[in-house]
Amino acid sequence: MRRTTFSERESGVRWTLGWMFEGEVGPVTGRPPAECTRETARAESWVALCLAAGMPGPTEEDWARLGAEPLPADVVDQEFAYGAWRTLAWLLGVREDWPIHTSWHSAASLPKECPHHYVPRRQRDTDAWRAADAAAREQARADALRHWQHVRDLADRTAAR
């Protein structure tokens, strides 16, 4: 169950951590918690990245290389998928940056990635807030698309061998 007090991106992060550590179902495919392995985490990450980037999902050949049972995505929100992908990418060692702002970031005086998410909900119905949210979503989609293209290129090059 998603908690609506968080942004969709944060919900994707939290759901992913719940799958990995608390026995929830997979964040993007609904994969059972008993199937949470490195291979299925990689597969879930790829599906999440495809959704976050707005690109086609894994091919049959991708699923075979991933070593995981093909499952369709049951999440369509790009921000949720982006949060899930960022979390899995961090857990799998693909990215070094933690997917959400924490007290550690605050203590290090690091800026919030999406400061508009910290505005109380009752104050969000403004043109400025909507513009900030649209910019953050576009930045996330561009980040996901850049990574998707990189992974797709790697997968295609290794398949050609």
Question: Any idea where the domains of the chain sit in the sequence?
Answer: 8-159
Report the alpha-carbon distance of residue 55 to residue 71 in Å, rounded: 16
Residue 142, H or E segment: helix 127-159
pLDDT tens digit string along 9-60?
889 999 999 999 999 999 999 999 988 899 999 999 999 999 999 999 999 9
Report the alpha-carbon distance of residue 108 to residue 89 in Å, rounded: 22
Mean pLDDT over 101-124 rounds to 69
pLDDT tens digit string along 68-82?
999 999 877 999 999
Higher-pLDDT residue of 2 and 155 is 155
**Confidence at residue 123, expressed as pLDDT on a 0 to 100 scale:** 80
**Confidence at residue 4, expressed as pLDDT on a 0 to 100 scale:** 42
Q: What is the mean pLDDT of the chain?
A: 86
pTM: 0.84
Burial tier of 75 (Cβ tally within 10 Å: 0-12, 13-18, 19+) = buried
Of the candidate ranges 60-74, 87-101, 136-150, the one whose mean pLDDT is the lowest: 87-101
What six digits make up the tokens of 63? 């699923």
**Confidence at residue 105, expressed as pLDDT on a 0 to 100 scale:** 54
Task: Show the DSSP H helices in 38-126 as ranges.
Answer: 38-53, 60-66, 78-91, 103-107
**Confidence at residue 124, expressed as pLDDT on a 0 to 100 scale:** 82
**Confidence at residue 111, expressed as pLDDT on a 0 to 100 scale:** 66
